[in-house]
Amino acid sequence: MEKDKRNIFLVDDDMTNLMVGKKVLSDAYNVFTLNSGEVMLEMLENIVPDLILLDVNMPEMDGHEVIQRVKSNTKTAHVPIIFLTALRNEEMELKGLSLGAVDYITKPFSAPLLLKRIAMHLLLQDQKRELANFNHYLTHLVDEKTKTVVELKNAILSTMAELVEFRDAITGGHIMRTQKYLKAMLDAMRVYGIYKQEVDSYNEDLVLQSSQLHDVGKIGVRDSILSKPGKLTPEEFEEIKKHTTFGEKVILRLKEKTMDIDFLEYARVFAISHHEKWDGSGYPHGLKEESIPLLGRLMAIGDVYDALVESRPYKQAYPHEKAVAIILEGRGKHFDPQLVDLFEKIHMEFDKISDEVAG
């Protein structure tokens, strides 16, 4: 067997046809002559040919049964099969083509025609392989470009989030922790089937990335308020409440300049709604119950928990148990009752996150 030649199986129960076929083809190809479909299927265990010439009318296992076996095996399904037949029968040819044959050649065959048909189908197979490789390369290229764009977007996002935390130095680590609290809640919602239809509709990667912008509006709040070492006056609190609407404006401005609408819509919802309360006493719009977007209701729990367990100039950090008790007390008032019940089930995960991500 010559390594630089293509391998062809010639399958026919007629010894004369095998001898003639091998004589015609041997100069150009490595020809394996096989006298039955069973023998060919055994040979396929060791050698996968470049093309099969298969007699239709054979005893015991005819060509139609053989091709079905070849095409059902993922190892050999790609191999082109040309049927050899002594009779022209339209119904039989249609059946063979429907099973995966690429061509029919009538016996006794013309040597030049046989060689030409084989060369044509091998060329088509090569072109299909090259196209598949090219498509794979293009897919890889697109994936790499997409990865680069995503990494750039994440870098910009993280930088914006860090800018907020740099200005609001008392809340170091807050953005990362709330992102992790959010993921813990989303994971648990899938387990327990809470708000299943809406959660299933989310692109979770984008939701988690965009949650980093929930406090982006703080870049519009005066340093003297953000950094005040004490409790805010009512006037100052009204000023800091504006970070929700300012954050929404920043994100809407970004939406005008990009095609990444889903990502920024999640960010907008987080920014504008994470201080709304279930009983309608929150801000900026006083939304009530399920009129508050689910993402806002989720962030409210993580945001408040983090504020409770972390130190502030005006308060010491509360122990985890006290923070949990305060959130449970807010069930149906500050927080969505279903989400509070879920938080109660997984609150130790919040404690773990708080310990891992230092402020």
Of 74-83, 153-162, 194-203, 289-298, the poorest mean pLDDT is in 153-162
- What pLDDT, on the 0 to 100 scale, is given for residue 221? 81
**pLDDT at residue 229 tops 80:** no
pLDDT digits (tens, 9 = 90+) for 131-190: 888 888 877 777 776 666 666 566 666 666 666 666 555 555 888 899 999 999 999 999
User: What does the DSSP 8-state code read for residue 318?
Assistant: P
Higher pLDDT among residues 167 and 95, named by residue: 95
Angle ∠(70,75,77) on CA atoms, nearest 5: 45
State residue 98's pLDDT score: 87
For residues 131 and 125, what is the distance between their CA atoms, to the nearest angstrom?
10
Cα distances from 136 to residues 78, 141, 147, 305, in angstroms, run 17, 9, 16, 47
Per-residue pLDDT tens for 331-349?
A: 999 999 999 999 999 999 9
The pLDDT assigned to 140 comes to 77
Q: Kindly state the tokens that stand for 210.
A: 């965009």
Q: Does 293 sit behind a cis peptide bond, omega within 30 degrees of 0 on the bond before it?
A: no
- Whole-model pTM: value is 0.59
Tokens of 175: 């953005």
Q: Which two tokens stand for residue 249?
A: 């404006």
Given a cut of 60, is residue 7 above it in pLDDT? Answer: yes
Per the model's pLDDT, the better-predicted residue between 258 and 135 turns out to be 135
